Chain A
Amino acid sequence: MKFLEGIEENLRFMVLEVTRQVEGTLNCLEDPDPGLIAKIESRDDYIDNLKSVIENLCYSKIHGPSGAYKPAVDMARAVNIVSANLERVADHAVNIVMQVQYLSDPGFIKRYDYLAGFREVDKALGIIVKALLSQDVTLAFKICRAEFNLDAIFKDNFDRILVDLRKGESPENCITCHNIFRYLERMGDSILNIGEAIIFAAVGEKFKIHQYQALKDTLAQRGAEVPITKGEFQSIWGTHSGCRIGKLPDKPGSKSHGVLFKEGNATKIIQEKENIERWESILPGLPPRVQGFQSEGDSASMLLEYLGGCTLQQVVLTADAEIADNAMFLVEQTMALLWDKTRRQGTISAGYIRQLHARLEDVFRLHPEFDTPPRTMGDLELWSFAEMLEATAELERQLPAPFSVFIHGDCNINNIIYEHTDQRIHYIDLHRSKDTDYIQDVSVFLVSNFRLPIMDQNMRARPNQVIARFLDFSRDYARAHGDDTFDARLTLGLIRSFLTSTRFEFNREFAKDMFLRCTYLMGRILAHAGTPWQDFRLPERVLYY
């Protein structure tokens, strides 16, 4: 492999040396020979040295000419992880050898099954080079299995040691044997990291083995093989939710564009599945189809139909004006239809400011300066951020929505798909859907346009147009349905959306701009208190950057 030039040979040496080290350790357990112990100790220095050499080579690959080529960088990163963990395996070998001297009866260890553990380690070491060089996920998976087996072996022997201790066998020998098995078990942890690094090199994704297993099970349920080889698993987007999402190709001959795999917290995934089912009953084809679902303990995984087309964000940013207009027309038509279909009379409060509280900590962690103190300027009292927020929360009680609808729940323009050929809209990422004030979706939609990282004024014209027309559309809807506090509630929704958007915004100037818009809106709405809310007008300028 070209981009492993200069590394491959060193890696082979290293695997060989670590294998010899582990073999030597086993020999030492069976026949503790001081000469052998000294040899093992000195070989450890050589292994440490090899690790440093490989580390240097990997870093120079990453920063060298091949550094721009992702597979080469992934491979260099993987090799570095593999070699760091090989070194740890070797360290544990030395740790075991060090324990041997504490056995008053060197034969005491023979009553336990240490051989099984060594066999597992040896087997895994034997396939590392092949798995890595051929980027073979099946072999990597075998390597990972060693950890599970070593855990089981540890548990077995641990129980037996406990029994011996209770029987009154020599505590010194029992504890020493326990330490030896513990180090063997820790070799397993390092071997697992090695297996996962090889999966990373093969699929270009950081994938924990339990996620891989979840994917395998979910696919198996669908009657498919695990198809992961290089390039078959594509990351679709980074998520903030802790779920892993990736795209897999569909079965050959299928018309669809593949499937999406989601794995993560069970409550979230199950919630999303239920929401998808409800959306499907409201407007068939709106959400992606669920093609597989698996839940085990705290985590669950789901295979979703991968919807073609592009996100509304891509449309806003790159499409021709005509197409963008058409997409927006479809979005508005679809939303009005969904709001009509799910509208229920009766007041409801979205609790925008309350929702904000849950995310405040994340905002302040990134931008501690937003937690402004109370100040005065002459006779003017300038409230602290906390005081403003509290007063706004108090005021929100006077502003329930007159009706509820089933909302998207995370209605940013990345979560709406526009399919040009079929002329339709899809909703994705639906774990937050619920019956509440439709303005929550409106404000999230508007701010997701605002926060697009475009600073050029000419380029900004597009999101500004989208904001203006979507605001008109939703105001018309409010008017047609007797919602006369629309502007006031939208202001509350925008306060929430502007502020929560800063928690992912590392551009300090832009984050500050959104924060100032949030506090400006609080100032405006607080100043209106005591006057009929029907008369409040959102200062619309705040929506245009």
Chain B
Amino acid sequence: MSQKGKFSYESLQDSEILLTYLKALVQGFETGTMRFSVKDDEIELHPSGLIHFGVEAKAKRDRMKLTLKFAWREGEEDPRDRHDVLRVEAEKP
């Protein structure tokens, strides 16, 4: 499965409202499907298998920053099901 698309959102929240956003993401991990849409464009992510997970926390005087990063690949077939793409054949003399 391959798709293209980008979703971005930036806002200012207090921690109370922020939880609803985090819960929406948690639910996505739980169900294995995350939908994001901008106007009529939709992208659907299916986090499963190996997920690269990074956490970065920074404290700089009174400015704090917490970055979470998830990355994974989708659409990889089981190698067992795969047929070789490369085939070497000898030509008859």
A517-B12, A520-B13 in contact; A375/B7 too (CB < 8 A)?
yes
Q: Which of B41-67 contact A (CB under 8 A)?
A: 61-62
- Give CA–CA (A263, B48) in the complex, Å: 68
- Give CA–CA (A269, B24) in the complex, Å: 55
Q: Which of A337-379 contact B (CB under 8 A)?
A: 373-379
Q: Are the CB atoms of A380 and B11 closer together than 8 Å?
A: no
Q: Which of B21-37 contact A (CB under 8 A)?
A: 21, 24-25, 27-28, 34-37
A457-B61, A457-B62 in contact; A377/B24 too (CB < 8 A)?
yes
Q: Are the CB atoms of A378 and B38 closer together than 8 Å?
A: no
- Is B70 engaged at the interface, CB distance under 8 Å to the other chain? no
- Give CA–CA (A30, B61) in the complex, Å: 83
Name A512's closest neighbour in chain B (CB-CB).
Answer: B10
A378-B34, A519-B12, A520-B11 in contact; A373/B39 too (CB < 8 A)?
yes
A377-B21, A378-B24, A379-B24 in contact; A516/B12 too (CB < 8 A)?
yes
**Shortest distance in angstroms between B56's beta carbon and chain A's nearest beta carbon?**
20
Q: Which of B1-22 contact A (CB under 8 A)?
A: 7, 9-14, 17, 20-21
**Shortest distance in angstroms between B25's beta carbon and chain A's nearest beta carbon?**
7
**Shortest distance in angstroms between B38's beta carbon and chain A's nearest beta carbon?**
5
Q: Of B9, B12, B27, which contacts A382 at CB under 8 A?
A: B9
Q: Are the CB atoms of B38 and A380 closer together than 8 Å?
A: no
- Give CA–CA (A520, B13) in the complex, Å: 6
Number of interface residues of B (CB under 8 A): 22
Most chain B beta-carbon neighbours within 10 Å: one of A382, A512, A523, A524: A382
Size category, A interface = 20 to 34
- Enumerate chain B residues within 8 angstroms of A519, measured Cβ to Cβ: 11-12
- Give CA–CA (A374, B7) in the complex, Å: 11
Q: Are the CB atoms of B39 and A374 closer together than 8 Å?
A: yes
Q: Of A376, A516, A539, which contacts B11 at CB under 8 A?
A: A516
Q: Which of A470-493 contact B (CB under 8 A)?
A: none
- Give CA–CA (A379, B9) in the complex, Å: 15
Q: Are the CB atoms of A378 and B37 closer together than 8 Å?
A: no
- Enumerate chain A residues within 8 angstroms of B24, measured Cβ to Cβ: 377-380
- Give CA–CA (A159, B71) in the complex, Å: 79
- Enumerate chain B residues within 8 angstroms of A517, measured Cβ to Cβ: 12
- Give CA–CA (A289, B81) in the complex, Å: 89
- Give CA–CA (A382, B36) in the complex, Å: 10
Contacts from B to A (Cβ < 8 Å) = 7, 9-14, 17, 20-21, 24-25, 27-28, 34-39, 61-62
Contacts from A to B (Cβ < 8 Å) = 373-380, 382, 457, 512, 516-517, 519-520, 523-524, 527, 539, 542
New A-B pairs, 18, CB < 8 Å, besides A378-B25, A379-B24, A519-B12? A374-B38, A375-B38, A377-B9, A377-B21, A377-B24, A377-B25, A377-B35, A377-B36, A378-B27, A378-B36, A379-B27, A512-B10, A516-B11, A520-B11, A520-B12, A523-B13, A523-B17, A527-B17
Interface CB pairs A-B, < 8 A, 12: A375-B36, A377-B7, A377-B9, A377-B24, A378-B25, A378-B27, A378-B28, A457-B62, A516-B10, A516-B12, A520-B13, A520-B14
